[in-house]
Amino acid sequence: MTFDEGRGKLFVFKKWSSEGFCMIVTRFAPSPTGYLHVGGARTALFNWLLARRTGGKFLLRIEDTDMKRNTPTAMRQVMEDLRWLGIEWDEGPEVGGPHGPYLQSERRAIYDKYIRQLLDAGKAYYSFDTAEELDAARKLAETEKRSNIYRRPAVCPTEADVEKARAEGRPVTVRFAVTATEPIVVHDEIRGDVSFDPAEIGDFIILKSDGFPTYHFAVVVDDELMGVTHVIRGQEHLMNTPNHQLLQRALGFRIPTYAHMSVTVSESGGKLSKREQPKAVQKYMKEHGVIPYAALTAKIGADELEAFRSGHNDALNKVQMQDLTKFYSVKGSNVDELRGKMSAGLEIVRQLVDGRIITESELVDFLEGNSVPDIPIIEKIAEHLGIRLPEINVVDFFRSGYLPEAMVNFLALLGWNPGDGREIMSRQELVEAFDLSRVNKSNSLFDRDKLLAFNTEHIKRTPMPTLVGHFRRYLAAIESPVAKADDTLLEAIIRMNEGARTLEQIEQKTRFAFVSNDQVRYDAEAVKKVLQKGDGLAMLRAVREALAGLQELTPEGIESLLRNLAQAQKVGLGKIAQPLRVAICGTTISPPIFNAVDLLGIDNTLKRIDIALKHFA
RNA sequence: GGCCCCAUCGUCUAGGCAGGCCUAGGACACCGGGUUUUCAACCCGGCGACAGGGGUUCGAAUCCCCUUGGGGCUACCA
């Protein structure tokens, strides 16, 4: 069977329709190390799309063979995120299926059986190298500028040697013996044929010393046993594929169809990864002179530093000064600015340390790039400092008010397109148009602006009941006071915010109506510009008077009232609307003013006008 | 360093496999204008790319080679 003749749709159709029972089976196999991130979501989506397009099956398998990296809640989170995106699996955790269990940690007996098979056939052997020995070999290869290929012993260890090694406390692993001499060719649906020299592939570990199989082994066994026909995965796995094919040959397994997708890169270059968030925090800290005292005194003696801080300029020499100005990115030698930045930075450090968010030594390590705190700590720091972290995980986008429809649409178009110029597409349209042959080879940048545009478009076209559901879920997640509204009111709120780009914007523009009058936060700049400058306050008084006499509260009624008032005062509507807006919302950003007043109610509107008049007059 | 992948506007891409239909099309962003009660949304217009060099050919964005650039992998992680 040749796999590379006629890529994509035609080929795919020929295969399963002519053979009838040969259904396409794809899978998503995340390791539960945290939340589902967008790269993973894209991989899952492409697999799901192919399965749905061809009437095949999509399954979910949890690759939890690394005890050190697993986090207990990750699996549940990943499943929740997939479901939010609308990516449902036909087989896998919680839904079951004939090929279970779907957690690799529960399949150890299966792997052991196949390991034994390879061992008995002389296709794999035991090895007892320590981490230090392996490390030394790696370093040597590096200095000699060659690939690090494991050197197979002349005589393979026996079972007796295993006992002896165990007794000596040496780690026991099993390696696969790579004996191929011919080039290994991977037929890739996206890249065509890729050839690998077997001399470049060392004997790799298939069973770890803790008794768990490595990824390479587990993935091969499970894909076979679960009947996976098509493997769509990231390009980072392309180099692993010859290893997998070698194992498949040795075990007598079928070789699935492979498709290696391009990598999604971030603005800062490199793979879009969870590292982006710590990076953002680090950048903020560096820009704001957040440098722990310990790091400072390591550079400059404590006595001199204190002398400098307390105002003795000459306490520092030229070199130290240059060092500090560079450190704090202060231009020239502006001593006052330097002092200001230093104390502001130290103040932030104090808050973080006193708030027990992070210890000083951890902070030093983090800023010097020696270690990275866990994401929850990063999140706490970001929250404390008011840093907006870049969204990386699917759940981050949910919390920022994005629609799953927009995410799915955007992700699908990252490296794929329907070929007819369409961009905004529903899930159903994507399923109908998806085709492996139209998947790109080149890396693509995750363009947040474009995602925003997609979200704006999807807010416009998502049916109202669905949108209300999304909005309610969003409000609950961020614990918004707007969650008090019933569905009818939520629908009205969405309608009055026509043109909004995210659910977050809608929430931010309407929450003023759901907080008590004394909780309104007045934006200082808005107050100054709109109320206190010109005749803002006078207009506000006029508005109050007019509104007090209002008979019936409807947006239309308020509109004609305000328009008449503007005419009577011989000013544009803006001169009336803006002061009123600031008085009731606290900012210059709100839904259309007539709706805003209607939403808040006349009593509270009048009360807030009074409060504003009292405070800002 | 070694191995592998990739290369069209700032970004995502169409066109490439079947070379002339391409003075390279669309979308996002950006800039200018319009609409307007704020923020958005919306409407009109503009800027803007075949990485470089060699071939093959009557003809190359398209096929081949080299260079350059970007990315991935190089674990008892997946």
Reported as type and span, the H/E element at residue A250 is helix A241-251
Here the ipTM equals 0.95
pLDDT at A13 over 50: no
Strand A25-28 to A57-60 pairing: parallel
What is the mean pLDDT of the segment spanning A569-579?
89
Give the mean model confidence (pLDDT) for residues A365-380: 84
Residues in chain A: 617
Distance A460 CA to B63 C1' (A): 45
> What's the CA gap between A3 and A188, in Å, rounded?
8
Whole-number pLDDT of residue A254 = 95
3-state secondary structure string, A354-415?
A: HCCCCCHHHHHHHHCCCCCCCHHHHHHHHHHHCCCCCCCEHHHHHHCCCCHHHHHHHHHCCC
For residue A215, pLDDT beyond 90: yes
More confident position, A6 or A56? A56
pLDDT reported for residue A88: 97
pLDDT-above-90 percentage for chain A:
60
Q: How far is the CA of A69 from the C1' of B76 (A)?
A: 13
Distance A442 CA to B52 C1' (A): 20
Rounded CA–C1' distance between A416 and B19, in angstroms: 25
Residues 6+ away with beta carbon under 8 Å from A139 = none
For residue range A441-459, list pLDDT tens digits in order: 999 999 999 999 999 999 9
Q: Could you tell me whether strands A205-207 and A230-234 are parallel, antiparallel, or unpaired per DSSP bridges?
A: unpaired
For chain A, the distance separating the N- and C-terminal CA atoms, rounded to the nearest angstrom, is 84
Write down the pLDDT at residue A3.
28
pLDDT tens digits, A92-116: 999 999 998 999 999 999 999 999 9
Please give the nucleotide, over all strands, whose C1' is closest to the CA of residue A566.
B37
| Least confidently predicted of A12-26, A228-242, A369-383, A545-559 | A12-26
Q: Which of residues 404-463 of A touch strand B (CB under 7 A)?
A: 413-415, 417, 419, 421, 423, 438, 440-445, 447, 449-450, 452-453, 456-457, 460
Confidence at residue A9, expressed as pLDDT on a 0 to 100 scale: 34
Percentage of residues in chain A with pLDDT exceeding 70?
95
Our separate counts of H helices and E strands in chain A read: 28, 11
Cα A519 from Cα A228, distance rounded (Å): 57
Which positions ≥6 away from A534 have C-beta within 8 Å? none
CB A235 within 8 A of CB A260: yes
- pLDDT at site A71: 86
Would you place residue A233 in the very low, low, confident or very high pLDDT band (cuts 50, 70, 90)?
very high
Question: A214 beta carbon < 7 A from strand B?
Answer: yes
CB A389 within 8 A of CB A382: yes
pLDDT of residue A11: 38
Distance from residue A186 (CA) to nucleotide B2 (C1'), in Å?
A: 20
pLDDT at residue A489, as a whole number? 97
Q: Which residue has the higher pLDDT, A502 or A347?
A: A502
Residues of chain A (8-67) having a beta carbon less than 7 angstroms from strand B: 29-31, 63, 65-66
pTM of the shown model: 0.89
Q: A498: which nucleotide lies closest, measuring CA to C1'?
A: B41
**Beta strand ranges found along A241-395 (DSSP E):** 257-261, 264-265
* pLDDT at A5 exceeding the cut of 50: no
Does residue A351 lie within 7 Å of nucleic acid chain B, judged by its CB? no
CB-strand contact A151/B, under 7 Å:
no
> What does the pLDDT average to over A122-132?
92
Question: Which among A197, A183, A392, A149 is positioned nearest to A277, based on CA atoms?
Answer: A392
Least confident stretch, A293-307, A315-329, A481-495, A592-606? A315-329
For chain A, give the mean pLDDT: 89
Q: Is the dihedral of CA A527, A530, A532, A533 positive or negative?
A: positive
Q: How far apart are CA A256 and CA A324, in angstroms?
A: 58
Spacing of A217 CA from B65 C1' in Å: 39
Q: How far is the CA of A191 from the C1' of B55 (A)?
A: 25
* pLDDT for A18 beyond 50: no
Question: Each residue of A404-426: pLDDT tens digit?
Answer: 999 999 999 999 999 999 999 99
Judged by C1' against the alpha carbon of A424, the nearest nucleotide is B27
Q: Six-digit token pair at A189?
A: 């649906």
Give the other-Cβ count within 10 Å of A488's Cβ: 9
Distance B59 C1' – A185 CA (angstroms): 36
Residue A607: partners with Cβ closer than 8 Å, 6 or more residues away: A517
Given a cut of 50, whether residue A596 has pLDDT beyond it is yes
> pLDDT digit string (tens) for A503-523?
999 999 999 999 999 999 999
Nearest nucleotide, CA A454 to C1':
B28
What pLDDT was estimated at residue A589?
Answer: 94
Nucleotides of B under 7 A from a protein CB: 1-8, 10-15, 17, 25-29, 36-42, 70-78
Which nucleotide, over all strands, has the C1' atom closest to the CA of A450? Answer: B28
- Joined together, the tokens standing for residue A293 give 């005292």
Instruction: Return d(Cα A282, Cα A290) in angstroms, integer.
Output: 9
> Within 7 Å: CB of A70 and strand B?
no
